[in-house]
Amino acid sequence: MHIDDLDTPFLLVHLDALEENLDRAQAYCDEHHVGLRPHIKTHKCLAISRMQMDRGAMGIVCQKLGEAEVMVDGGVDRDVLIPYNIVGRIKLERLAALAPRTRLTVAADSEYTARGLSEAMTAAGTRVGVIVEVDQGRTGVRTPAAIADMAALIDSLPGLELRGIMIMPSPPSCRPLLQAVLSGLDARGLPHPIVSGGASPCMWTAHEVPELTEHRAGEYPVGGMKHLQVGTHTVEQCAGRVLTTVVSRPGADRAILDAGSKSLSLAVHHDERGGLLGHIVEYPEARLSGASEEHGHLDVSRCDPKPRIGERVEIIPVHPCPTFNEHDEIAAVRGDRVEAVWPVEARGCIR
C-alpha cells in the first residue's frame, strides 16, 4: 500500500528510523553490560516488542497488569516487570494467574501492598518477585533505612521473592543515594539481583552508574519533541508521527489540521515559542499552538509557502506514550510504502 492510501489522522512508525533507534540502544547497553528492559507502555504494540526482544532486550516493563497480560499472551514472556503497587482482590487474582507464565516481578512500597501480594500468591500456590522503589516524588520509599525495612518485610513474607530495587529517573547524580540504599540492604544481608534504572534520556549515561543491572526505557524507539530538545533524537530519528490533513485555512495565518487532542493527546511542550502540541515536519516554522479534540490549530504566519487545504503533513508528538494510546493501529512505513498495519494491542490497558 502507498502511504497516500492511508486515511488521516493515522499514526505512523517509520521503520528505517525505528530500526536504527532499536539497534543504537541495544548496542549501547550491550557495550556497557547493562540489561535493556524496554518499557512497552510507549508503543503498546506486540510487533515492536518482538523487535526489541529479537535484538537482545533482557525482558520488558509494563506499567499496568493488563499490559503485561497482553504481552505474555502474545509470546513476549521472557521476563516481565510491573513497577506498580498491585492492590485489590481482582488484580491480585489476575497477578497470581500470570505469575507462573513468565519470570514476573512487581514493586511494593507499603506493608499493605506487600502483605496483599503475599496472601494472594500463597492462596494461589505461586510466587512473584518484588522490588522496592526508591521514592523520587511519585511512589516508593524515601530513605535508605525505610527501604531496607521494606525489603526485609518482603524477604520475610511467603510467596514473595525479594529481587532488589528500582529508581526513576537514574542520572549519574543518583549514585550517592543508590549506594546508600544498596549498603543498607547489604548490611542486612538482603539480596538485590535487580538494580533497575529508568528514563530514555538517562539510558545514555547508564555506564556512569555501574550499580545498575538494567535500564528501563520506553520512548527511545520513536522519540518525541522532548527528545528533539535534549538531543537524543534528530527529526529524522523521531520515528513515531501522526499523519494529518489540512482541512481548513480560516485566515491568512491560520491552518486547521484533522488531528487534535484525540490523535495527539493533550501533552504540551513548552519552549521559547510558547506551548506546542507537536512539531510539523514539513513546516518547522509552523506553531501547533493548540488543539481541540479533532482540530489541530496551526499558526502558519512564519511559513513561506504556507500549507494548503488538502495537503498532508506529519506531526512529531510531544510525548509518544499518550499519543500511541489514542490509536488502535500503527502504519509501519518505509519511504512511501506501508509495509504493515500493526494493532496497538495494549492500548487502553488501564487496569
Interacting residues with its own copies (CB under 8 A) = 5, 7-10, 41, 63-64, 84-85, 87-88, 90-91, 109-110, 112-113, 116, 135, 138-142, 245-251, 256, 258-259, 261-263, 265-267, 292-295, 297, 309-310, 321-322, 325-328, 348, 350-351
Q: Judged by CB, which is closer to its own copies: 31, or 350?
A: 350
Please give the grid coordinates belonging to residue 14.
517509520
Is-contact 13 222, C-beta < 8 A?
Answer: yes
Q: Judged by CB, which is closer to its own copies: 21, or 63?
A: 63
H or E element, residue 54? helix 46-54
Q: Judged by CB, which is closer to its own copies: 34, or 298?
A: 298
Q: Provide the minimum distance between the beta carbon of 15 and its own copies in the complex, in angstroms, as a whole number.
A: 22
Residue for grid cell 479533532: 294
Q: Judged by CB, which is closer to its own copies: 34, or 167?
A: 167
Q: Provide the minimum distance between the beta carbon of 13 and its own copies in the complex, in angstroms, as a whole number.
A: 17
Look up residue 220 and give its amino acid: Y
Look up residue 295 and give its amino acid: H
Q: Provide the minimum distance between the beta carbon of 199 and its own copies in the complex, in angstroms, as a whole number.
A: 12
Q: Provide the minimum distance between the beta carbon of 55 and its own copies in the complex, in angstroms, as a whole number.
A: 25
Torsion of CA 166, 168, 173, 176, to 10 degrees: -30
Q: Provide the minimum distance between the beta carbon of 350 and its own copies in the complex, in angstroms, as a whole number.
A: 5
Is-contact 128 106, C-beta < 8 A?
Answer: yes
Q: Provide the minimum distance between the beta carbon of 61 and its own copies in the complex, in angstroms, as a whole number.
A: 12
- Enumerate the β-bridge partners of residue 340: 332
Q: Provide the minimum distance between the beta carbon of 247 and its own copies in the complex, in angstroms, as a whole number.
A: 4
HSE-up of residue 197 (Cα within 13 Å, Cβ side): 30
Q: Judged by CB, which is closer to its own copies: 26, or 296?
A: 296
For the purposes of burial, counting CB atoms within 10 Å of the CB of 96, is it exposed (0-12), middle (13-18) or buried (19 or more)? Answer: buried
H or E element, residue 272? none
Is-contact 19 324, C-beta < 8 A?
Answer: no
Q: Judged by CB, which is closer to its own copies: 17, or 108?
A: 108
Q: Judged by CB, which is closer to its own copies: 243, or 332?
A: 243
Residue for grid cell 490497558: 349
